[in-house]
Amino acid sequence: MATSHPYDVVIVGAGPAGMCAALYTGRSMLRTAVLERGIPGGELLNTEKLDDWIGEKSILGWELAKKFEEHSREFGAEYVTATVERITKLRDGTFETVTDSGDRYVSPAVIVTAGGTPVKLGIPGEIEFAGKGVSYCAICDGAFFKQQTIAVVGGGDAAVEEAEFLTRYADKVYVVHRRDSFRASRILQERLFANPKIEVIWNAVAEEVTGDERGLMTGLRIRDRVSDEVRSLDASGCFVFIGFHPNTGVIDGHFDHDEMGYVRTDTTMQTSIPGLFAAGDLRSQLTRQVTTAVGDATTAAIAVEKYLKTRDEGSHEIVAQGSGGYTA
């Protein structure tokens, strides 16, 4: 039977941003529920190793996720396995977060850290070799492919820019694009064409990721869209950049966002809906890393504490110098 659960703050999503936010709200003695449809960790669970988490020269993604979860639980965060269907602001100013079971989590503030989802190729081997050759983040995983041959799939700004970035590590980068010209900006294309490490394969689509008995990627099968010829590329990595969707569909109501659908916030991480905060990959920003996610989350959690205090005093406004904060 569906029930109603009162909390001081509800956090939607248990990736790095959600778990860090839970740590800070817990330290502030706020009763906190973290709603996550799966195992806490988010994209960390799809990352084999990290070498850019400060203080750790190398750490496994699942290991860092476990540390985040355990640390936040130390301060009282309650984790609930549930799929959030909608977040609605009620007439009295509180939020109702409804799960797929019909349970209602009622709170005066919500932090959305639901992240985003890379658009996948949907080909055999892609899921099997995710984190073992297949990646969706050049900055995260590029350093693991030093002096290797890799492939980049895509033709927009992200694909072209990241292909050029990956030449810092790889000896050879193939760019596989389904058309005969890029959609990327001219300046990015010029940089790519000038790079001797990059070879563009036009009018081609990826059809299968192949690997060995150790579970590591060894190649990419591609098909020429003109001749229909299928051939194999020897490559130990495949970076997919064909799109990324912020997971904002759970927010019921209009909110300010950029042209790609990412949530715009003020400097306190508050959205255009007072009391609704956002942190991590679904927020409009320059880069999406674990470090930026936890930075967002720290700010959001501290801002929530201030928001609740001013709300109790009869005001919905967060006073933050230079924030241009939204007011109710």
- Residue 81 CA to its chain's centroid (Å): 19
Percent composition of the chain: helix, strand, coil (DSSP 3-state, to 5): 25, 30, 45
* Beta strands at 116-118 and 9-12: parallel, antiparallel or unpaired: unpaired
Written as one string, the DSSP assignment of 123-149 is -TTTTTTBTTTEES-HHHHGGGGTT-E
Whole-Å CA distances, 25 to 19, 28, 110, 191, 194: 10, 5, 11, 45, 49
H or E element that contains 153: strand 149-153
Q: Which residues are catalytic, by number?
A: 137, 140-141
Buried/exposed code over 256-290 (b: 16+ C-beta within 10 A; e: otherwise): ebeeeebbebbebbbbebbbbbbbbbbbbbeebbb
